[in-house]
Amino acid sequence: MNGNDNPRKPILYYYLAVAAIVLLFNAFIMPGLMSMRVTQVDYGTFLREIENGNVKSVEIVDDAIGFVVVDQHGREQIYATGRLDDPDLVNRLYNADVEFMKVIPRENSPLVNFLVSWILPMLIFIGVGQFLMRRLQSKIGGMGNVMSFGKSNVKVYVEAQTGITFADVAGQDEAKEALQEVIDYLNNPEKYKEIGAKIPKGVLLVGPPGTGKTLLAKAVAGESKVPFFSISGSEFVEMFVGMGAARVRDLFKQAQEKAPCIVFIDEIDTIGKSRTSGGIGGNDEREQTLNQLLTEMDGFEADKGVVILAATNRPETLDKALLRPGRFDRRVPVELPDLRGREAILKVHGRNVKLDSNIDFISIARATPGASGADLANIVNEAALRAVKQGRSYVTQHDLEESVDVVIAGYQRKNAVISMKDKLTIAYHEIGHALVAAKQKNSAPVHKITIIPRTSGALGFTMQLEEDDKVLMSKEEALEQITVLLAGRSAEEVALGVITSGASNDIERATKIARAMVARFGMSETFDMMALETVTNQYLGGDTSLMVSAETAARIDNEVLKIIKACHQRAIDILEENKEKLHELTKHLLEKETLSGDEFMEILNS
Ligand code: ADP
Ligand code: MG
Ligand code: ZN
């Protein structure tokens, strides 16, 4: 038992809190308000003021005395003092010729008193509370079909039919195939029951952000024509303490009533984080929620027809208990799309916009290695927006190409002011990248060079396009990549004899490759095939952590430096050999601001 049996408790607490506040209000604040502008003094002061004849009038209430003093400027000030047992008081006042009276406490009717001091504030509080609650709830349930669950006010998104099918999910053929079994089961469970085959209860979709995990889950529901319950991991833990577990319980209860159906838990890593990794104390709320989830998953039979899908991009952080058989024991990778996948995704999204007749999606796919499905959807949409802006009724190839640049590097900063001197440096820098790329045998062909500044802060860029996706990188190719990255700065040195800050990103990327060569790819002689680093989060940026002694770490740095220095020298050598072309190409780029790959090659080979 974990104390959440009455989900209304938070509301009860709320009312108790209101009552407490009203009590405090009546006890302290009200009298305070009433006696505003009244100064408390001691009895002695009271007597002295009477003797000095400054007191104008006195009012005696049960156990207090209020009196009005007139000062030398004629201003009146109200004072109050406690009433002591002073039999002479009346005489004193009479002698001092002070207006005085004893007020006979004139009580309001007790009913009115009660109403004003208890019921009214209570009503106001409840009103405000209800208002806030409603606001909160409407915020949480902003979209979709929101249903209220049982007593706990849990909100879960339910879609009777998602309306999304596998046709909307491009690429991801392996993932689709793995999920096909689930669909088949939901469509005809009898087939499975007859043989006694058990379908996996939980399927975990893992992959980088934007690759279509959520989309796939919806498509599974759409293909099986069953209701789709979805909730995001972060929603479990954001509200009140103790609500997470209640939500889980209600979600499963509701799902079992609606079976067959799909329950989708997005971003499950937010609740499913390994319980040991939280450090001391941990996060009780999250742990409770996770425990409840584990209990619920064990609590129902798979043949009920509830299939639980979950998605995460941090599978390595998940608690082992979640992954054991009978829970999320099936794992479906949803990877970044390859070249064909990217083309297919562009086509799927291209269906929704009006296109020019000669659109070449494959070249756009080539220009976007590493892009996720979400990026590609965004590219198509950017292109459509651009077409609208230009007053056209259809999207052209050029729109798509331009929006690739936008998604990669941001919008053009047309009115950015850059001095001629800086422009020259930037042009040499970009031509440096392109020229060295063209002069090496393994480098991908140059597709585009531009020195139009972008909103991302890029002052220009050189785009290379691989013909096909590369799954392996040879040592030779890695070294060439580093050389190309370092060639921008090298060109500044060779042509102008200056070095600028413009190469910081190149330097960072080059160093990363060099480091991976030494620490992970076994491409250095010193360390041979020794693993020195591990990747800690595969799907989010690929951070790494060293697993070596400090001494070895220093030697790794040395090794990395050696690679960088050699590649830097090589870039300088290539540029020195082709110095004339370097100047000629830079002149062209300065004039035109953007060179296509073909234009570049033409000048280079002329
Ligand atoms: P994830 O959940 O993996 O982060 P989503 O499923 O939310 O990614 O994808 C975001 C959007 O990107 C989708 O709504 C869709 O428009 C687009 N998208 C992603 N992957 C694909 C794909 N394989 N096919 C078509 N569209 C995709
Ligand atoms: Mg998602
Ligand atoms: Zn550069």
Buried b (16+ CB within 10 A) or exposed e, 355-379: beeebebebbbbbbbebbbbbbbbb
What residues does 61 pair with on adjacent strands?
64
User: At a CB cut-off of 8 Å and minimum separation 6, what does 523 contact?
Assistant: 475, 478, 517
34 has a pLDDT exceeding 70: no
Q: How far is CA 12 from CA 6, 239, 240, 248, 311, in A?
A: 10, 16, 13, 21, 35
CATH classification of the domain holding 43: 3.30.720.210
pLDDT tens across 476-494, in order? 999 999 999 999 999 999 9
pLDDT of residue 523: 94
Nearest-atom number in ligand 1 for the CA of 218 is 6
Which residues surround the ion ligand 3 when the cut-off is CB under 5 Å? 488, 506
For 280, counting Cβ atoms within 10 Å of its Cβ (0-12 exposed, 13-18 middle, 19+ buried), the class is exposed
Same domain assignment for residues 451 and 540: yes
Mean pLDDT of 24-41: 68
User: Which residue's CA is minimally distant from atom 25 of ligand 1?
Assistant: 169
Compute CA distances 469 → 57, 87, 339, 377, whole Å: 98, 106, 6, 20
H-helix or E-strand containing 288? helix 284-299
Interval between CA 484 and ligand 3 midpoint (Å):
9
Question: What's the CA-to-centroid distance between 439 and ligand 3, angstroms?
Answer: 17
**Low-confidence winner among 169-173, 221-225, 287-291 (lowest mean pLDDT):** 287-291
Domain co-membership, 96 together with 113: no
pLDDT at 302: 64
User: Which of 172, 173, 179, 211 for a ligand 1 pocket mutation test, highest count of atoms within 8 Å of Cβ?
Assistant: 211
User: Are residue 188 and residue 280 in the same domain, yes or no?
Assistant: yes
| Phi, psi at 142, each rounded to 5° | -60, -35
Q: Report the half-sphere exposure of 315 (CA within 13 A, side-chain side).
A: 19
Q: Which ligand is nearest to the CA of 267?
A: 2
Q: Which ligand is nearest to the CA of 209?
A: 1
Give the ligand 1 atom nearest the CA of 212: 6
Max mean pLDDT among 246-255, 261-270, 298-307 falls in: 261-270
Give 212 Cα–ligand 2 centroid separation in angstroms: 7
Domain-located, residue 86: yes
> How many domains does the structure of the chain reveal?
5
Average pLDDT of span 243-247? 79
Is position 478 within any domain?
A: yes
Distance CA(335)–CA(332), nearest Å, equals 9
Does 238 share its domain with 311?
Answer: yes
Task: Please tell me whether residues 159 and 78 are part of one structural domain.
Answer: no
Task: Evaluate whether residue 247 is within a structural domain.
Answer: yes
Q: Specify the CATH number for the domain of residue 298.
A: 3.40.50.300
Residue 35 has pLDDT above 60, yes or no: no
Query: Is 483 a member of any domain?
Result: yes
**Contact by Cβ (8 Å): 444, 465:** yes
DSSP letter assigned to residue 445: P
Contact indicator for 434, 425 with CB cutoff of 8 Å:
no
Eight-class DSSP state of 501: G
**Which of 98-102, 370-374, 592-596 has the lowest average pLDDT?**
98-102
Q: Which numbered atom of ligand 1 lies nearest the CA of 209? A: 4
Best residue for ligand 1 mutational test, from 166, 204, 215, 372 (most atoms within 8 Å of Cβ)? 215
- Paired with 449 in beta bridges are 462, 595
Name every protein residue with a CB atom under 6 angstroms from any ligand 1 atom.
169-172, 209-215, 311, 345, 348, 373-374, 377
- The answer to whether residue 2 sits within a structural domain is no
Separation CA 200–CA 330 (nearest Å): 7
Is 430 among the residues known to form the active site? yes
Beta strands in 267-368 (DSSP E): 306-312, 330-333
pLDDT classification of 103: cutoffs 50, 70, 90: low
Residue 149, pLDDT above cutoff 60:
no
pTM for the whole structure: 0.68
pLDDT of residue 432: 96
The whole-number average pLDDT for the span 219-231 is: 89
Quick one: 528 and 402 in the same domain? no
Structure tokens at 597: 């790959």
**Could you read off the pLDDT of 364-384 as tens digits, one per residue?**
998 888 889 999 999 999 999
Q: Which structural domain range is residue 528 located in?
A: 420-605
Count, residues in the chain: 606
Q: What ligand is nearest to the CA atom of residue 372?
A: 1
Nearest atom of ligand 1 to the alpha carbon of 208: 3
Mean of pLDDT values over 11-35: 73
Cα–Cα nearest to 65, from 73, 44, 74, 76 = 44
Asked if the structure places residue 3 within a domain, the reply is no
The atom of ligand 1 lying closest to the CA of 205 is 3
Q: For residue 31, what are the contacts with CB-CB under 8 A and spacing of at least 6?
A: none
Same domain, 435 and 569: yes
- Burial bucket for residue 299 (CB in 10 Å: 0-12, 13-18, 19+): exposed
Annotated catalytic residue within 235, 267, 430, 559? 430
Based on the domain organization, do 460 and 587 belong to the same domain?
Answer: yes
CA distance 117 to 26: 7
Residue nearest to atom 9 of ligand 1 (CA): 212
Residues 453 and 598 in one domain: yes
Task: Find the helix or strand (DSSP H, E) in which 263 lies.
Answer: strand 261-266
Q: Checking DSSP bridges between strand 461-464 and strand 533-535, what pairing results, if any? A: unpaired
What is the band of 428 on the pLDDT scale with cuts at 50, 70, 90? very high
Residue 363 lies in a domain: yes
How remote is the CA of residue 362 from the centroid of ligand 3, in Å? 26
Distance CA 501, CA 519 (A): 28
**Which tokens in the block code for residue 367?**
């220009």
Same domain, 176 and 92: no
- In whole angstroms, how large is the CA radius of gyration of the chain? 38
591, 449: one domain: yes
Greatest C-alpha distance within the chain: 123
Mean pLDDT, the chain, whole residue set: 84
Considering the domain architecture, whether residues 293 and 381 belong to the same structural domain is answered as: no
What residues contact 421, with CB distance under 8 A and at least 6 apart? none
pLDDT number for residue 130: 84
What CATH number does the domain containing 549 carry? 1.20.58.760
* DSSP labels, 359-389: --HHHHHHT-TT--HHHHHHHHHHHHHHHHH
Neighbours of ion ligand 2 (CB under 5 A): 214
Q: Of the candidates 86, 117, 148, which is a domain's last residue?
A: 148
Distance CA 512, CA 94 (A): 97
| Residue 18, in any domain of the structure | yes
| Residue 417 or residue 602, greater confidence | 602
Rounded to whole angstroms, how far apart are CA atoms 16 and 188?
Answer: 52
Closest alpha carbon to 345 in 218, 224, 215: 215
**What separation in Å is there between the alpha carbon of 347 and the centre of ligand 3?**
32
- The domain that holds 347 is classified in CATH as 1.10.8.60
Nearest protein CA to atom 7 of ligand 1, as residue: 214
Q: Atom 14 (ligand 1): residue with closest C-alpha?
A: 215
Measured CA to CA, the distance from residue 297 to residue 328 in angstroms comes to: 9
